[in-house]
Homo-oligomer: A and B are copies of this chain.
Amino acid sequence: MSRGLGAEQMAFGANYTPRHGWFHSWLELDPSSVAADFAALKALGLDHVRIFPLWPLLQPNRTHLVARSLQDVRTVAQLAGDAGLDVHVDVLQGHLSSFDFLPSWVETWHRTNFFTDPKAIAAAAELISALTEVLADLPQVRGLSLGNEIGQFAAARHPEQRAITPAQARAWTSGLLEHAARVWPDGRHTHSYDDELWFVDEHPFTPDLATQLSPTTTVHSWVFTGATTRLGNDHPDLARFGRYLVELAQAWSPDPTRPVWVQEIGAPTPSVSADQAPDYARRTLVELVGSPAVEAVTWWCSHDVSRSLADFPELEYSLGLIDEHSRVKPIGRAMAELIDDVRSGVVGRESATGRRALVIPPLEHELRSLTAPHGPVFLEWLALGGDPAPALLPVTQATGPDLLEARGITTLIDPLNLQTSESNPLLLKR
């Protein structure tokens, strides 16, 4: 691994879901409550948090930024820093746990495709600049993320889809990332995607964006998007899905040393039952730590959503490491123990050399579904077992010795017979 990152240097964090009032707490920020939440996360051994202001509260009009809301973001970031946590700040929310938060100036009578509307893009840049202004001098704030899985607003399944082309998705992402780099050159700015980027053939946000823009590839891993359907609830291999996504992200990456940040991963019921969750979490994390590419894992989420809040999908109420009464849950203890084990060397990286690789169909945007949980690749990869987990190698790269060496791959496994059959039906899927 050219980055030379040892497992003990890995970052472990949580996506911060405020215990009191969830993200609606931005409407009545209680610094002492937030400070207590952060202290509890630090006590688990975590080193960072992602925080999520809500777009309509920051920028309720296209040309109006709310100073108090910006100051509240700074306050929360400071509190995290005071607790010894690094902070990553998401810009455009956008979407959180099934709820969409869009300002009125992009909705109904003012509906606009904010991915392509030049005025909306300029406004997003203004918001990035404003957040930079209130955050960049805080040493523990590491950077911005453009928006939490905001690409789903462009997905066909969204009830108010903003349809765009891949070129438009690239222009939006690269333009705003470049703007962030310009106004905040010391920040480490990222963008995030749900797994439709990797799995849905026609999704306008593509793996190219994930693996070529920003300094790290972000992965959001949720077993309920397909893995559970394929494997069944509480299947032991569900704990390997996150690692599978990491390997897939690496396979798409033109740079074999590119890091991966597993920015969201959790233990959702009923895919993972409550009593299985601690074991699932540990095995998931061991798999992720094993990858020489993974630089950070950020659990979703810090605190259970309070049962006093209505209308969340059932699974969202129990994703926390800590419950709504501030008690560390078994899964929180499991993560704390794993972090201890990593720091003390009990759990470590797999070797970055001498790796096995599963030969897979060419990685093309129009063939993404071949690598989805319902496709042939996932099960073949699982069948190879872990320890160490195999890489994924597109058949189109299987003959390049330099590339194999760069990826540390010494053994090719080709159960789909992709190398020997030019007319393999998998290659003709479309």
Contact = CB atoms under 8 A, between A and B. Distances in A.
B61 A24 contact: yes
A361 to B, nearest CB: 33
Q: In which size bucket is the chain A interface?
A: 35 or more
Contact of A27 (B22, B69, B104, B308): B69
A123 to B, nearest CB: 8
A311 B66 CA distance: 17
B99 A104 contact: yes
Nearest to A22: B61
Contacts of A67: 28
Interface string A5-45: 00000000000000001101001100000000000000000
A332 B111 CA distance: 34
Interface string A209-245: 0000000000000000000000000000000000000
A100 interface: yes
Nearest to A106: B311
Contacts of A308: 63-64
A60 interface: yes
A405 B159 CA distance: 56
A56 to B, nearest CB: 7
A346 interface: no
A68 interface: yes
A421 interface: no
Interface string A149-179: 0000000001110000000000000000000
B68 A28 contact: yes
B24 A60 contact: yes
Copies of this chain assembled into the complex: 2
Given A27-B69, A309-B63, A310-B62, A111 B159 contact: yes
Contact of A110 (B22, B56, B99, B111): B99
Contacts of A24: 60-61, 64, 66
Contacts of A423: none
A101 B99 contact: no
Nearest to A105: B311
A109 B107 CA distance: 15
A399 interface: no
Nearest to A306: B64
A57 B27 contact: yes
A108 interface: yes
A2 interface: no
A420 interface: no
Given A99-B105, A100-B107, A60 B310 contact: no
A158 B108 CA distance: 8
Closest 4 CB pairs of A and B: A28-B68, A63-B310, A99-B104, A62-B310
Interface of A: 21-22, 24, 27-28, 56-57, 60-64, 66-69, 98-101, 104-105, 107-111, 119, 158-160, 308-311
Given A24-B60, A27-B57, A64-B308, 8 more contacts: A27-B68, A61-B310, A61-B311, A62-B311, A98-B110, A100-B108, A100-B109, A108-B158
